[in-house]
Amino acid sequence: MEEENPEPKEATEYTKKKNTDFRKTLPMDDGTDASNVARGFIATRKNPIIEKQEPNAWQPISWDLSKSDFVKGQAPETVNPSLWRQAGLNAQHGLYEICEDFYQVRGFDTSNVTFIRGETGWVVIDPLTTAETAAAAYELVTEHLGFREISAVIYTHSHLDHYGGILGIIERSRIEKENIPIVAPEGFLHEAVAENVIAAPVMGRRATYQFGMLLPWNEKGHVDQGLGKGIPTGSSALVPPTIEITETGQELTLDGVKIEFQLTPESEAPAEMHFFFPEYEVLCMAENCSGTMHNVLTLRGALVRDSLQWSRYIDEAIDRWGDSSQIVFASHGWPHWGQEAVKGYLTRQRDLYRWLHDQAMRLANLGYTPNEIAAEVDLPPGLWDDYMCHGYYGTVSHNVRAVYQRYIGFYDGHPSSLDPFTPVDAGKKYVDFMGGIDALLEKARAAFESGDYRWVAEVLRHAVFADPQNNQVRLLQADAFEQLAYQAESGPWRDIYLTGAQELRNGSINIPVLQRPRLEVAKGMTLGQIFDFLAVKVDGPSAIKLGPVLINWSFTDTGETALLELSNGTLHSKIGSFSKSADVIVSSSRDVIEELIATEYSLSQAIGDERVKISGDSEKILNLWETFTDFPLFWPIIEP
């Protein structure tokens, strides 16, 4: 595809007016947020570059603290003024004191890591996404507060940016040797794997759009994630918890620090919890409250969250600790001080998720479809006047559609939605109905000139899928996406639009990278989770030809066994079972199966290296292995 002016454009007069008009609707900024962000600042890292443990040409560093230095002064014409304000607050980074014994490192990752001084060491909450960023945070703490070993770790919930960096602050061998407490909510391990392994390939690609991972950081590119600055790269691990919180009201004392817990499953994450420090009157709200409206359904893809329960959990936290909390902090954003401020913040966050839920379902019960609901619902004045209820990460538009999806599903009720055409087939038919590509393009250009960028983006979707090599179509849709990005208050919406524009102009990303679980993640998976992941990789039509197969697999180092059954192209596993009529008997150590799913190491290599022993019909398991699908990191989104 020939290149024709692929560079980002300036804001059009329509976009300038849109942003100017939007600025007039914003609530007064009394400086409280900026003051809270700066409060307790101690220091930040001198070298802004956090190196990767294993650098490569594509991703040479893990994190660069200086990448947001451009976010200063008044919003440029190419950025929504409200998002620019949020970007400036999120751009602050360093070590902060929350109160006596409580410290937080912010801005070193998309999430925050909190260090609590215990009797002998640090109790750490949420050790970030990668070992590199976590290690840098720990180094900063040590530099300014003195060295203390990690005495306990708490995972607030099952998302990678809250546990993946643990090996940057503590060695796995020390955790095992000294029985270091790793505390997490009930169901953490299952949910961490379910979201970050089974669906990781599709989520990973969509995440490159949601987080603008391939965009430059500047006034025409990535500005802010809304929830934080962006996503680091590097080494992540899954270290299983040693202590599960199984009920609300459960109490623990970790290194002398007393903690009361509240379980909040099916809220912002499937496994999540709040907790309170009674001796300090400090409340941690995990990620159920932050400095923005969150996602009821994250745009990278995940299970739809229960916004009704989410609201109820915040209400329960208010009832339990609202009158006794002098400080509240969370896994993203900044703390709030003073009982009145804490309670007001919690109340508005509670009301926010209840509003989204109730208004979406009120309209659904009146027969409104998802897109109609999104067009009808806005924030009420009391929530709009609080910047922390604004849609910097989630938006009212996609959140109310997510509420509908949770209750009603993908089908909008119209018969024509039952059996839709594929995007390519639909695109060709739409283009034909509109009089051909030239006529469609002429009308789309007129719509663009009138500022109707949403319609241009929608109608040219059909044209791109009908004729992906048509450069005029691609560039016009890219221009429309770009203007929509410049208007977006939501960081992810901006990044998605801009990434779409980038790939339309320059072609879809085609880097030969495969998506596999990291080896450190595989070590944290149960055998059942490993074989469930392998089952997803089975190419069913190819596997059907193999007929039924029974495989006994025993693990010499752990004593575990698994019975695998291939039936009608589907792979089933029963952990702890054994069949006397198995076609194949396999024996190996546990680390072999971890390497088989996490690296390029193959089953035939493992057999040749005598790390796997097979008796029976070895061809049956080798043929099964040949049906496993490799998942690429990159595949087309804006084109066929």
Statement: residue 2 has pLDDT above 60: no
Distance CA 552, CA 539 (A): 21
CB atoms within 10 A of CB 303: 15
pLDDT value, residue 623: 97
CA distances (Å), origin 69, targets 65, 89, 217, 517, 550? 8, 12, 10, 34, 59
Comparing 52-66, 392-406, 486-500, 588-602, the range with the smallest average pLDDT is 52-66
Statement: residue 5 has pLDDT above 80: no
Average pLDDT over residues 206-222: 96
Confidence (pTM): 0.95
pLDDT value, residue 525: 86
Distance CA 327, CA 343 (A): 10
DSSP H helices, 26-64, are 32-38
Distance CA 75, CA 67 (A): 17
- Residue 543 tokens read as 């596997």
Distance of CA 20 to the CA centre of its chain: 31
Question: Residue 377 — very low, low, confident or very high, per pLDDT cuts 50/70/90?
Answer: very high
The mean pLDDT value of the chain amounts to 95
Distance CA 577, CA 567 (A): 17
pLDDT value, residue 192: 86
pLDDT value, residue 4: 55
Mind listing the pLDDT tens digit for each residue in 89-135? Answer: 999 999 999 999 999 999 999 999 999 999 999 999 999 999 999 99
Comparing CA positions, the residue from 319, 316, 341, 315 lying closest to residue 328 is 341
pLDDT value, residue 1: 43
- Residue 554 tokens read as 């025993």
Q: Is the Cα dihedral 135, 136, 137, 138 positive or negative?
A: positive
Statement: residue 461 has pLDDT above 50: yes
Q: What percentage of the chain exceeds 90 in pLDDT?
A: 91
pLDDT value, residue 246: 98
In order, the DSSP letters of 484-553 are HHHH-SSHHHHHHHHHHHHHHHH-------B----HHHHHTS-HHHHHHHHHHHB-HHHHHTT--EEEEE
Number of helical (H) and strand (E) elements in the chain, helices listed first: 23, 21
Q: Which helix (H) or strand (E) element contains residue 561?
A: strand 561-567
Average pLDDT over residues 325-335: 98
Domains, the chain, with CATH or none: 31-408 (3.60.15.30), 420-506 (1.25.40.880), 519-626 (3.30.1050.10)
Statement: residue 196 has pLDDT above 80: no
pLDDT value, residue 607: 96
Comparing CA positions, the residue from 181, 215, 219 lying closest to residue 77 is 219
Statement: residue 613 has pLDDT above 60: yes
Statement: residue 199 has pLDDT above 90: no
Mind listing the pLDDT tens digit for each residue in 37-49? Answer: 999 999 999 999 9
Question: Residue 57 — very low, low, confident or very high, per pLDDT cuts 50/70/90?
Answer: low
Average pLDDT over residues 361-387: 98
pLDDT value, residue 55: 76
Question: Residue 194 — very low, low, confident or very high, per pLDDT cuts 50/70/90?
Answer: confident
Answer for the pair 468, 477: CB distance below 8 angstroms, yes or no. no
Distance of CA 378 to the CA centre of its chain: 25
pLDDT value, residue 308: 98
Answer for the pair 113, 166: CB distance below 8 angstroms, yes or no. no
Q: What percentage of the chain exceeds 70 in pLDDT?
A: 99
Q: Which helix (H) or strand (E) element contains residue 554?
A: strand 549-555
Question: Residue 428 — very low, low, confident or very high, per pLDDT cuts 50/70/90?
Answer: very high
pLDDT value, residue 154: 98
Distance CA 109, CA 380 (A): 32
CA distances (Å), origin 255, targets 123, 147, 274, 564? 7, 16, 19, 44
Distance CA 11, CA 21 (A): 14
Question: Residue 68 — very low, low, confident or very high, per pLDDT cuts 50/70/90?
Answer: very high
Statement: residue 61 has pLDDT above 50: yes
Which residues, in sequence order, are bridge partners of residue 587? 554, 613
Comparing CA positions, the residue from 129, 65, 182, 47 lying closest to residue 332 is 129
Mind listing the pLDDT tens digit for each residue in 498-552? Answer: 999 999 999 998 888 888 888 878 887 889 999 999 999 999 999 999 999 999 9
